Amino acid sequence: MVERANRPSALASTPALAPQPQVTFSDDNSRVTAVLPTGESVEVLLYGATVISWKSGDGAEKLWLSEAARLDGTKAVRGGIPLVFPVFGTVPNHAQTAKLPQHGFARTSRWEFLGKSSSESAPGSAAADLSVKLDFGLSSANLDPSARELWPFEFGLIYSVLLNRDSLTTSLVVTNDDDKPFDCQVLLHTYLRVKDITAVEITGLADASYVDKVDGAKTKTQSSPLTITGETDRVYSPAGDAAVIVTESGAEIFSVTRDNLGNVVVWNPWADKAAGMADFAPNDGFKNMVCVEPGSVSGWQTLEPGDAFEGAQTITLYS
Protein backbone atom coordinates (compact mmCIF):
# COMPACT_ATOMS: atom_id res chain seq x y z
CA MET A 1 0.00 0.00 0.00
CA VAL A 2 1.43 3.35 -1.05
CA GLU A 3 1.68 5.90 1.70
CA ARG A 4 0.45 9.34 0.73
CA ALA A 5 2.32 12.28 2.08
CA ASN A 6 -0.79 14.35 2.63
CA ARG A 7 -3.61 12.06 3.46
CA PRO A 8 -6.93 13.82 4.01
CA SER A 9 -8.15 13.87 7.56
CA ALA A 10 -11.42 12.21 8.43
CA LEU A 11 -14.46 14.18 7.37
CA ALA A 12 -16.10 16.06 10.19
CA SER A 13 -19.42 14.52 11.09
CA THR A 14 -22.45 16.50 9.99
CA PRO A 15 -24.60 17.59 12.92
CA ALA A 16 -27.83 15.67 12.97
CA LEU A 17 -30.88 17.71 12.10
CA ALA A 18 -33.17 18.34 15.02
CA PRO A 19 -36.59 16.68 14.77
CA GLN A 20 -39.06 18.78 12.78
CA PRO A 21 -42.86 18.96 12.69
CA GLN A 22 -44.44 16.35 10.44
CA VAL A 23 -47.45 16.93 8.19
CA THR A 24 -49.23 14.00 6.56
CA PHE A 25 -52.38 13.34 4.54
CA SER A 26 -54.85 10.51 4.97
CA ASP A 27 -54.89 7.88 2.24
CA ASP A 28 -58.06 9.36 0.75
CA ASN A 29 -56.77 12.95 1.02
CA SER A 30 -59.73 13.89 3.19
CA ARG A 31 -57.73 15.18 6.15
CA VAL A 32 -54.39 16.65 7.16
CA THR A 33 -52.50 15.84 10.37
CA ALA A 34 -49.64 17.82 11.88
CA VAL A 35 -47.47 16.47 14.71
CA LEU A 36 -44.77 18.27 16.68
CA PRO A 37 -41.61 16.38 17.73
CA THR A 38 -42.85 16.64 21.33
CA GLY A 39 -46.05 14.74 20.45
CA GLU A 40 -48.68 17.49 20.19
CA SER A 41 -50.97 17.05 17.18
CA VAL A 42 -53.84 18.56 15.25
CA GLU A 43 -56.05 16.95 12.61
CA VAL A 44 -58.10 18.94 10.11
CA LEU A 45 -60.81 17.58 7.83
CA LEU A 46 -60.84 19.27 4.42
CA TYR A 47 -64.63 19.11 4.53
CA GLY A 48 -65.41 22.36 6.30
CA ALA A 49 -61.72 22.85 7.19
CA THR A 50 -62.95 21.40 10.49
CA VAL A 51 -60.41 20.76 13.23
CA ILE A 52 -61.51 17.35 14.50
CA SER A 53 -58.68 16.61 16.93
CA TRP A 54 -56.17 18.50 19.05
CA LYS A 55 -53.98 16.48 21.39
CA SER A 56 -51.39 17.48 23.94
CA GLY A 57 -47.98 15.81 24.02
CA ASP A 58 -49.21 13.02 26.28
CA GLY A 59 -51.91 12.09 23.75
CA ALA A 60 -54.82 13.61 25.71
CA GLU A 61 -57.62 14.88 23.46
CA LYS A 62 -58.59 18.51 24.10
CA LEU A 63 -61.60 18.79 21.79
CA TRP A 64 -64.92 16.98 22.02
CA LEU A 65 -66.10 15.12 18.92
CA SER A 66 -69.41 13.30 18.77
CA GLU A 67 -69.13 9.55 18.30
CA ALA A 68 -71.87 9.94 15.66
CA ALA A 69 -70.18 12.80 13.81
CA ARG A 70 -70.21 12.42 10.03
CA LEU A 71 -66.65 12.66 8.73
CA ASP A 72 -67.44 11.64 5.15
CA GLY A 73 -68.55 15.03 3.82
CA THR A 74 -72.28 14.31 3.97
CA LYS A 75 -73.10 16.55 6.92
CA ALA A 76 -71.56 19.28 9.05
CA VAL A 77 -69.31 17.81 11.74
CA ARG A 78 -70.72 17.70 15.27
CA GLY A 79 -67.73 18.63 17.43
CA GLY A 80 -64.18 19.83 16.98
CA ILE A 81 -64.04 23.38 15.60
CA PRO A 82 -66.58 23.94 12.82
CA LEU A 83 -66.39 27.27 10.96
CA VAL A 84 -69.45 29.51 10.82
CA PHE A 85 -69.65 31.86 7.79
CA PRO A 86 -71.28 33.98 6.38
CA VAL A 87 -74.23 33.83 8.81
CA PHE A 88 -74.65 32.64 12.40
CA GLY A 89 -78.35 31.87 12.70
CA THR A 90 -81.17 31.98 10.21
CA VAL A 91 -82.04 35.59 9.37
CA PRO A 92 -85.13 35.72 7.16
CA ASN A 93 -85.29 39.53 7.33
CA HIS A 94 -81.71 40.03 6.10
CA ALA A 95 -81.87 40.01 2.33
CA GLN A 96 -78.30 38.91 1.61
CA THR A 97 -78.37 35.85 3.86
CA ALA A 98 -82.08 35.07 4.11
CA LYS A 99 -81.80 31.92 1.98
CA LEU A 100 -78.82 30.44 3.78
CA PRO A 101 -79.09 27.61 6.31
CA GLN A 102 -78.07 28.14 9.92
CA HIS A 103 -74.30 28.61 10.29
CA GLY A 104 -73.86 29.19 6.55
CA PHE A 105 -71.85 27.11 4.11
CA ALA A 106 -68.19 27.26 5.21
CA ARG A 107 -68.56 24.20 7.46
CA THR A 108 -70.17 22.16 4.67
CA SER A 109 -67.82 23.10 1.82
CA ARG A 110 -64.73 21.28 0.60
CA TRP A 111 -61.70 23.47 1.29
CA GLU A 112 -58.35 23.46 -0.48
CA PHE A 113 -55.14 22.79 1.44
CA LEU A 114 -52.86 25.72 0.64
CA GLY A 115 -49.71 24.56 2.39
CA LYS A 116 -47.77 24.35 5.61
CA SER A 117 -45.11 26.39 7.32
CA SER A 118 -43.13 25.70 10.45
CA SER A 119 -40.57 27.30 12.70
CA GLU A 120 -37.11 26.03 11.86
CA SER A 121 -35.12 24.23 14.52
CA ALA A 122 -31.36 24.42 14.35
CA PRO A 123 -29.23 21.53 15.64
CA GLY A 124 -29.27 21.51 19.41
CA SER A 125 -32.21 23.89 19.75
CA ALA A 126 -35.21 23.10 21.91
CA ALA A 127 -38.03 21.15 20.29
CA ALA A 128 -40.40 23.07 22.58
CA ASP A 129 -39.86 26.14 20.39
CA LEU A 130 -41.29 24.46 17.30
CA SER A 131 -44.67 25.21 15.74
CA VAL A 132 -46.49 24.33 12.55
CA LYS A 133 -49.15 26.23 10.62
CA LEU A 134 -51.62 24.76 8.15
CA ASP A 135 -53.43 27.03 5.68
CA PHE A 136 -56.73 26.31 3.93
CA GLY A 137 -58.69 28.25 1.33
CA LEU A 138 -62.26 28.58 0.09
CA SER A 139 -63.51 31.04 -2.51
CA SER A 140 -66.50 31.74 -4.68
CA ALA A 141 -64.60 30.09 -7.54
CA ASN A 142 -64.63 26.65 -5.88
CA LEU A 143 -67.87 26.97 -3.93
CA ASP A 144 -70.59 24.42 -4.58
CA PRO A 145 -73.03 25.85 -7.18
CA SER A 146 -76.01 25.40 -4.86
CA ALA A 147 -74.34 27.47 -2.13
CA ARG A 148 -73.19 30.04 -4.67
CA GLU A 149 -76.77 30.47 -5.82
CA LEU A 150 -77.85 31.22 -2.25
CA TRP A 151 -75.03 33.73 -1.67
CA PRO A 152 -73.85 35.09 -5.05
CA PHE A 153 -70.88 37.18 -3.93
CA GLU A 154 -67.24 37.00 -4.94
CA PHE A 155 -65.20 36.29 -1.83
CA GLY A 156 -62.10 34.60 -0.50
CA LEU A 157 -61.46 32.84 2.80
CA ILE A 158 -58.07 31.89 4.24
CA TYR A 159 -58.17 29.75 7.38
CA SER A 160 -54.99 29.11 9.35
CA VAL A 161 -54.45 26.53 12.09
CA LEU A 162 -51.31 27.13 14.15
CA LEU A 163 -50.15 24.38 16.51
CA ASN A 164 -47.75 25.24 19.32
CA ARG A 165 -46.69 23.01 22.16
CA ASP A 166 -49.17 24.54 24.64
CA SER A 167 -51.70 26.28 22.39
CA LEU A 168 -53.79 26.17 19.25
CA THR A 169 -54.58 29.30 17.24
CA THR A 170 -57.22 29.38 14.52
CA SER A 171 -57.69 32.49 12.38
CA LEU A 172 -59.94 33.37 9.48
CA VAL A 173 -59.39 36.10 6.88
CA VAL A 174 -62.39 37.14 4.76
CA THR A 175 -61.89 39.25 1.63
CA ASN A 176 -64.53 40.90 -0.53
CA ASP A 177 -63.52 40.24 -4.14
CA ASP A 178 -66.83 41.56 -5.47
CA ASP A 179 -67.70 44.97 -6.94
CA LYS A 180 -70.40 45.52 -4.31
CA PRO A 181 -70.40 45.34 -0.49
CA PHE A 182 -71.59 42.35 1.45
CA ASP A 183 -72.45 41.59 5.08
CA CYS A 184 -71.12 38.60 6.97
CA GLN A 185 -70.78 36.99 10.38
CA VAL A 186 -67.97 34.74 11.61
CA LEU A 187 -67.77 32.22 14.45
CA LEU A 188 -65.24 29.61 15.60
CA HIS A 189 -67.59 26.97 17.02
CA THR A 190 -65.14 25.35 19.46
CA TYR A 191 -66.14 22.23 21.42
CA LEU A 192 -63.80 21.96 24.42
CA ARG A 193 -63.48 18.58 26.15
CA VAL A 194 -64.00 18.44 29.92
CA LYS A 195 -64.29 15.56 32.37
CA ASP A 196 -67.39 16.72 34.26
CA ILE A 197 -69.49 19.68 33.15
CA THR A 198 -70.93 20.05 36.66
CA ALA A 199 -67.42 20.83 37.94
CA VAL A 200 -66.78 23.50 35.30
CA GLU A 201 -66.68 27.23 35.96
CA ILE A 202 -66.14 29.89 33.28
CA THR A 203 -64.67 33.28 34.15
CA GLY A 204 -63.72 36.32 32.12
CA LEU A 205 -67.30 37.26 31.25
CA ALA A 206 -68.14 39.23 34.40
CA ASP A 207 -70.38 42.25 33.74
CA ALA A 208 -70.80 41.23 30.09
CA SER A 209 -74.24 41.56 28.58
CA TYR A 210 -75.60 38.50 26.83
CA VAL A 211 -78.59 37.28 24.89
CA ASP A 212 -80.08 34.22 26.57
CA LYS A 213 -81.45 32.12 23.71
CA VAL A 214 -82.87 29.57 26.14
CA ASP A 215 -84.95 32.25 27.85
CA GLY A 216 -86.73 33.96 24.98
CA ALA A 217 -83.65 35.85 23.75
CA LYS A 218 -83.77 38.16 26.76
CA THR A 219 -80.79 40.45 27.28
CA LYS A 220 -79.11 39.89 30.64
CA THR A 221 -75.84 40.68 32.44
CA GLN A 222 -73.38 38.12 33.78
CA SER A 223 -72.88 38.93 37.44
CA SER A 224 -70.75 35.99 38.57
CA PRO A 225 -68.64 33.12 37.22
CA LEU A 226 -70.69 31.00 34.83
CA THR A 227 -71.57 27.44 35.76
CA ILE A 228 -73.49 25.05 33.50
CA THR A 229 -76.50 23.48 35.23
CA GLY A 230 -78.87 22.98 32.29
CA GLU A 231 -79.28 23.79 28.61
CA THR A 232 -77.14 26.85 27.92
CA ASP A 233 -77.09 28.98 24.76
CA ARG A 234 -75.81 32.50 25.29
CA VAL A 235 -74.27 35.16 23.06
CA TYR A 236 -71.99 37.34 25.17
CA SER A 237 -70.74 40.79 24.20
CA PRO A 238 -67.84 41.49 26.59
CA ALA A 239 -66.74 45.11 26.88
CA GLY A 240 -63.06 44.21 26.60
CA ASP A 241 -60.90 41.43 25.27
CA ALA A 242 -60.09 39.65 28.52
CA ALA A 243 -59.36 35.94 28.26
CA VAL A 244 -62.15 33.51 28.98
CA ILE A 245 -60.89 30.94 31.49
CA VAL A 246 -62.36 27.45 31.82
CA THR A 247 -61.78 25.92 35.24
CA GLU A 248 -62.63 22.37 36.28
CA SER A 249 -62.68 21.20 39.89
CA GLY A 250 -60.79 24.35 40.83
CA ALA A 251 -58.00 23.90 38.28
CA GLU A 252 -57.66 26.14 35.24
CA ILE A 253 -57.60 24.01 32.10
CA PHE A 254 -58.19 26.35 29.13
CA SER A 255 -57.64 30.02 28.38
CA VAL A 256 -59.42 31.36 25.29
CA THR A 257 -58.27 34.71 23.94
CA ARG A 258 -59.87 36.60 21.05
CA ASP A 259 -58.48 38.85 18.35
CA ASN A 260 -61.02 41.16 16.65
CA LEU A 261 -63.94 38.94 17.63
CA GLY A 262 -66.36 40.82 19.86
CA ASN A 263 -68.66 37.99 20.92
CA VAL A 264 -68.36 34.77 22.88
CA VAL A 265 -71.04 32.10 22.51
CA VAL A 266 -71.31 29.57 25.34
CA TRP A 267 -73.34 26.44 24.53
CA ASN A 268 -74.20 23.12 26.08
CA PRO A 269 -77.32 21.21 24.96
CA TRP A 270 -77.81 19.32 28.25
CA ALA A 271 -79.74 16.06 28.45
CA ASP A 272 -83.03 16.58 26.61
CA LYS A 273 -81.66 18.47 23.63
CA ALA A 274 -78.65 16.16 23.29
CA ALA A 275 -80.97 13.14 23.19
CA GLY A 276 -82.92 14.77 20.36
CA MET A 277 -79.91 15.28 18.07
CA ALA A 278 -79.19 12.27 15.90
CA ASP A 279 -75.52 13.18 15.46
CA PHE A 280 -74.84 13.81 19.16
CA ALA A 281 -73.39 10.72 20.80
CA PRO A 282 -73.29 9.38 23.35
CA ASN A 283 -76.49 10.92 24.67
CA ASP A 284 -74.72 11.87 27.87
CA GLY A 285 -71.80 13.42 25.97
CA PHE A 286 -72.99 16.83 27.11
CA LYS A 287 -71.29 16.00 30.42
CA ASN A 288 -67.90 16.05 28.70
CA MET A 289 -68.06 19.20 26.59
CA VAL A 290 -68.65 22.92 26.64
CA CYS A 291 -68.61 25.20 23.63
CA VAL A 292 -66.74 28.48 24.09
CA GLU A 293 -67.00 30.13 20.69
CA PRO A 294 -65.33 33.44 19.79
CA GLY A 295 -67.09 35.22 16.96
CA SER A 296 -68.59 38.33 15.45
CA VAL A 297 -72.30 37.50 15.37
CA SER A 298 -74.32 40.10 17.26
CA GLY A 299 -74.29 42.39 14.22
CA TRP A 300 -72.80 42.41 10.74
CA GLN A 301 -69.35 42.96 9.35
CA THR A 302 -69.92 45.01 6.20
CA LEU A 303 -67.05 44.61 3.75
CA GLU A 304 -66.71 47.05 0.91
CA PRO A 305 -65.15 45.85 -2.36
CA GLY A 306 -61.50 45.03 -1.70
CA ASP A 307 -61.90 45.09 2.08
CA ALA A 308 -60.84 42.29 4.40
CA PHE A 309 -61.81 41.13 7.88
CA GLU A 310 -59.65 38.97 10.14
CA GLY A 311 -60.54 37.32 13.43
CA ALA A 312 -58.73 34.73 15.53
CA GLN A 313 -58.76 32.74 18.73
CA THR A 314 -55.96 31.20 20.74
CA ILE A 315 -56.72 28.34 23.14
CA THR A 316 -53.94 27.86 25.66
CA LEU A 317 -53.53 24.82 27.88
CA TYR A 318 -52.58 25.04 31.52
CA SER A 319 -49.98 22.52 32.63
Number of domains in the chain: 1
pLDDT band for position 4 (cuts 50, 70, 90): low
* In a domain? residue 216: yes
pLDDT value at residue 121:
55
Domain-located, residue 34: yes
Does residue 15 fall inside a structural domain?
A: no
Catalytic residue of the set 40, 43, 103, 189: 189
Across the range 135-162, mean pLDDT stands at: 97
Domain of residue 247: give its range.
Answer: 22-119+128-317
Residue 181 lies in a domain: yes
Tens of pLDDT, residue by residue over 187-200, are: 999 999 999 999 99
11 belongs to a structural domain: no
CATH number for the domain spanning 166: value is: 2.70.98.10
Percent of the chain with pLDDT over 90: 88
Please identify which of the residues 40, 43, 103, 293 carries the catalytic annotation.
293
- 16, part of any domain: no
Q: What pLDDT score does 263 carry?
A: 98
Q: Catalytic annotation on 189?
A: yes
Instruction: Check whether 162 has a pLDDT greater than 70.
Output: yes
Binding residues for substrate: 78, 102, 107
In this structure, is residue 13 part of a structural domain? Answer: no
Residue scoring higher pLDDT (7 or 261): 261
Q: Are the C-beta atoms of residues 86 and 184 closer than 8 Å to each other?
A: yes
**CA–CA separation, 297 and 290 (whole Å):** 19
**Residue 149 bears catalytic tag:** no
Annotated binding site: 78, 102, 107
Q: Is pLDDT at 96 greater than 90 in this prediction?
A: yes
The answer to whether residue 57 is domain-embedded is yes
